[in-house]
Amino acid sequence: MSEISDLYHPLILEHNRSPLNYREPDSQKQTVEAYNPLCGDQFKIYFDTEHSKMTDLSFSGYGCAVSKAATSVLLKKIQGLSLTEAVGLLQEFKHAIDGDGLLDDEELMVFQIARKYPGRKQCALLCAEALIDFFNKKTK
């Protein structure tokens, strides 16, 4: 029972209750859709780029505590990064959750517990994978 409670770390619960930048934008922005057909989690991620940097990130939609918290934390972490830096951080996060990487960021590290729960692993990766796919398609 303690392992499942580890999945719901206080940071995850806090970002689920009060996610950062959880809002629809006031103006038209680039939009990325993130959808997990296994559990129904669905978010729209909005952002602008200024001088090749990620700006004004926000999201809306619905999902479980893990997917909402991961989206909240990841958007906070990539705010102000260049597109290359953002993709690098998202890929590092993905590798760590997939089990073949380690994170040294305390907030992101919390989500590594999802490795033990295959269904929750996809929840933790929802935002990261959607943004990585979006940027990979944009650069082709």
What residue segments make up the domains of the chain, in order of their start?
A: 2-138
Distance CA 91, CA 107 (A): 16
Write out pLDDT tens, residues 68-121: 999 999 999 999 999 999 999 999 999 999 987 778 899 999 999 888 888 899
Q: For the sheet with 42-50, list strands across it.
A: 30-35, 42-50, 53-62
User: Minimal CA–CA distance to 44: which of 35, 55, 54?
Assistant: 35
Q: Which residues are paired to 49 by β-bridges?
A: 54
Q: What is the pTM of this model?
A: 0.92
Compute CA 99 distance to the chain's CA centroid, rounded to the nearest angstrom. Answer: 17
What whole-number distance in Å separates Cα of residue 68 and Cα of residue 109? 16
Q: Identify the H or E element spanning 123.
A: helix 118-138
The one-letter code for the residue type at 62 is: Y
Is 2 a residue whose pLDDT tops 60?
no
**Which pairs from 43-46 meet CB under 8 Å and 24+ separation?**
43/67, 43/68, 43/71, 43/126, 43/127, 43/130, 45/71, 45/75, 45/127, 45/130, 45/131
pLDDT attached to residue 1: 41
| Architecture of domain 2-138 in this structure | Alpha-Beta Complex (3.90)
pLDDT in tens, 26-48: 887 899 999 999 889 999 999 99
